[in-house]
Structure formats: structure tokens, C-alpha cells
Amino acid sequence: MTSHRPATSLAREGPGGGDSAILRTEGLTMRFGGLAAVNDVSVAVPRGQIRAIIGPNGAGKSTFFNCITGVLRPTSGRIILNGEDLAGLPPNRVSHRGLARSYQITNILPGASVRENVRIAAQSRRHAWGLLRHHRAYGDLIDRARTVLASVGLGGKEDELAANLSHGEQRNLEIGIALATEPQLLCLDEPTAGMSVAETHATVELIRRIARNLTILIVEHDMEVVMGLAQAITVLHYGEVLAEGTPAEIQANSRVQEVYLKS
């Protein structure tokens, strides 16, 4: 599918000429009536990469996430995760294939403890694999929850009610809930929205830490966060890929500068 390969060749061929992309979209299009919110988008995200999706309001970023996570069924095009087509799968089946998403709008059970929030997510993952073959004892799920909570900096807050966490801590708990499903690809929709400067810095560190074992797709408005975290950036504009490249390439791109100055 060389014709769909981005010009910058961000998706390298793996050893032996294999495809190193964990996620690939081909001609992905989502129309709402006459509006093409996502228009013929072909991207390839190599395994292990932190890829940022940026673009002005209304560019199609959330719609792109909604398509790849199964929330929306695309009008046309293909979504390939680990070589398998995800087209038409509902969100829970997409999640079972190893793609998790932390929502911009909260996904947390406020009346449950921090530990329970993550434990329930870990359990849903296990059910997906079949209770008989992969059933984990309750204690194993608690261990998993503990590991995840430590990784998102909430190790000391396990018994706290989720409702009592600060806004920043709740956003990190959402990342923990997504991680508990043991994803290979994690989609983060504006993970630092509404955070203080200190919380933002801590979350950037958190994302960098968890990215060691994961591929991450991140939609983010804070350009400092994007430039500091992303290895590659895809710029959407009116539903189309305007540019793709390293942070340095994107910052130097005159078309990108124009779009951001105009908006």
C-alpha cells in the first residue's frame, strides 16, 4: 500500500520488510450529511511511537478518534490495528483488540474508590479473554490495579473515593482506567485540559513513563506538551491531513503556521 504511505515515511518498514505500523488508516472518511469531518485520511503509526494529532477546532480530531475507537462507523476507508481490519466493530470489541481510550469527558465512577475504578476496568479486560482460560483471581486484579495506580501517580490514593480526587488526579485516574485494560495502543483526548501548570508537567512525565511499553495517540491543544512529547505529529485541517512530520518539521512548516495564525 505504498500509495498510502505518508511522504515523510514515518511508518518505517520493520526488519524483513514487515509492516511496523500498529495502526494504519486508509482513506478514512466520516461524513455528517454534506460535511466531511474526516476526509480521506491515511496515517500509519509505528509501534512504540507517541503520535500527536493537532489542528484547529473543528478539524476532525475527535471524529478521527471516534472512528478508530468504534464509537462512529466511518463512511468509508479502512482502520487496521495489528494487521486486522476494525471496520464496523463496536467500542468494546475494539478495546478487546488492544486499543484503549481516555475520554475528554470523564469516564470515572465517582462513588467507587480509586482502586475499584481500576479493578473493574482490569476485570472487563479479563472477561474479554474468556473466563475459563484467563480468569484471574480477585487478588490478581487488585495487584494489577495497584501496579496501574502506581504508574499514574495515584499509589497513595487507592482507598480514596474517586469523587474526592482533584481534577488533575481524576484525569490521571482516567488514564489508569484505560491502562487497566492492557492496551497496546492508547488514545488520549486532551489529557492536560483544565490542569494547572504543575499538574500538566506531572502528566507529561506520566505519559512519557507509560509510553515505554505502549503506542500513544494524543490529541492536545497545549503546543508545549505536544512538542515535548510527540515523536511525530499529524496536522488535520478541515478533515484532511495538512502536514505530517517531526515536531521540528511541523514547527517549521509554513502551511501549518498559516493555519494556526488564522484561527
Ligand X SMILES: Nc1ncnc2c1ncn2[C@@H]1O[C@H](COP(=O)(O)OP(=O)(O)O)[C@@H](O)[C@H]1O
- The distance of closest approach from Cβ of residue 221 to ligand X in the complex, given in angstroms and rounded to an integer, is 9
Q: How far apart are CA 78 and CA 206, in angstroms?
A: 31
Distance between CA atoms of residues 181 and 3, nearest Å:
34
Residue of 10, 21, 45, 59 that binds ligand X (CB under 6 A): 59
Of the candidate spans 13-21, 55-63, 105-113, 179-187, the one that interacts with ligand X by CB under 6 A turns out to be 55-63
- Tell me how many helices (H) and strands (E) the chain has: 10, 10
The residue among 6 and 56 lying less far from ligand X, judged by its C-beta, is: 56
Smallest CA-to-CA distance from 176 within 218, 147, 197 is with 147
Verify binding: residue 58, ligand X, rule CB under 6 A. Answer: yes
Among 55, 168, 176, 183, binds ligand X (CB under 6 A): 55
Q: Rule CB under 6 A: say whether 101 interacts with ligand X.
A: no
Secondary structure class of 258 (helix, strand, coil): helix
* Nearer residue to Mg ion within complex by CB, 59 or 114: 59
242 three-class SS: strand
Q: By CB under 6 A, which span of 54-62, 93-101, 124-132, 248-256 interacts with ligand X?
A: 54-62
Residue range at the interface with ligand X (CB under 6 A); choices 1-9, 61-69, 85-93, 154-162 = 61-69
Please give the Cα distance from 152 to 55 (Å, whole number).
27
The CB-of-223 to Mg ion minimum distance in angstroms stands at 16
Tell me whether residue 113 is exposed, middle or buried, using C-beta atoms within 10 angstroms of its C-beta: 0 to 12, 13 to 18, 19 or more: middle
With respect to Mg ion, which residue has the nearer C-beta, 104 or 113? 104
CB–CB of 236/54 below 8 Å?
yes
Q: How many whole angstroms separate alpha carbon 184 and alpha carbon 222?
A: 25
Question: Who's near 116: CB < 8 A, 6+ residues apart?
Answer: 109
Q: Is 129 in the site for ligand X (CB under 6 A)?
A: no
> Rule CB under 6 A: is residue 41 a binding residue for ligand X?
no
Nearest to 103 by CA among 170, 36, 24: 170
Residues that bind Mg ion (CB under 5 A): 61-62
- Least gap, CB of 65 to ligand X (angstroms): 8
Contact criterion met (CB below 8 Å) for 73 and 50: no
Q: How far is the CB of 235 from ligand X (least distance, A)?
A: 11
Figure out which of the listed residues 21, 26, 45, 61 binds ligand X, where binding follows CB under 6 A.
61
Which residues of this protein are in contact with ligand X, per CB under 6 A?
Answer: 32, 35, 37, 55, 57-63
